[in-house]
Amino acid sequence: MAWFVKHETFTSETASLPMAQRRPCLEAHRAWVEQQVAAGRKIRSGYLVDAEHRPGGGGLLIFEADSYAEALAWVEQDPMIQSELVSWTLQEWIPVSGDGWP
């Protein structure tokens, strides 16, 4: 298994929407991640904040998959991507040091 990182940021159109309009897709994304965790996929998900803890830097999803093709097919099921609310990238992550996680 390999590790992959999806980085996403709201499109300018999405960023201009009131939170009430973004919330349903954010909740759908969170529910999708939780369903995937419950199904056994190894995932870490979160969002980025600035020095004052204000969101806006986007989000990261770190997860395992057998290949880039599998990772891409899986991540394209994310409600945030399917709703076209975010710009995103997907890269394989090769850990070389650290405390043993993942």
Contact assessment for residue 79 and residue 28, using Cβ atoms and an 8 Å cutoff: yes
Residue 57's alpha-carbon distances to 11, 12, 54, 69, 94, in angstroms, are: 12, 13, 9, 26, 23
The structure's pTM equals 0.86
pLDDT of residue 101: 66
- List the domain boundaries for the chain: 2-90
Which residue has better confidence, 102 or 62? 62
Q: What is the pLDDT of residues 50-71, one digit of tens each?
A: 898 887 788 999 999 999 999 9
Q: What is the mean pLDDT of residues 2-22?
A: 90
Identify the architecture of domain 2-90 in CATH. 2-Layer Sandwich (3.30)
Amino acid at 40: G
